[in-house]
Structure 1
Amino acid sequence: MAQPYRTAYHFQPLKNWMNGPMIYKGIYHLFYQYNPESAKWANIAWGHSTSTDLVNWTIHPPALLPSDPFDFNGCWSGSTTILQDGTPAILYTGCVSQKVNLQNLAVPKDPSDPYLVEWIKSPHNPIMTPNEDEKIWFRDPTTAWLGTDRIWRVIIGNKRENRGTALLYKSEDFIHWTEAERPLH
Structure 2
Amino acid sequence: MSVMDTVQDYYVVGSYDDTADTFVPEDDDDCRSWRRLDYGHVYASKSFFDPSKNRRVLWGWANEIIGIVGEQADVEVVFEIPALEHADVLEPNWLLDPQSLCGEKGASVPGSVGPFGLLVMASGDMQEHTAVFFRVFRQNDKYKVLMCTDLSRSSTRDGVYKPPYGAFVDMDIEAHSGIISLRTLVDHSVVESFGGGGRTCITARVYPDHVVNGNSHLYVFNNGTGAVKVSSLDAWEMATATVNVLPDGLIAASSVSRAQAY
TM superposition score normalised by structure 2: 0.27
The answer to which structure has the higher helix fraction is: 2
TM superposition score normalised by structure 1: 0.36
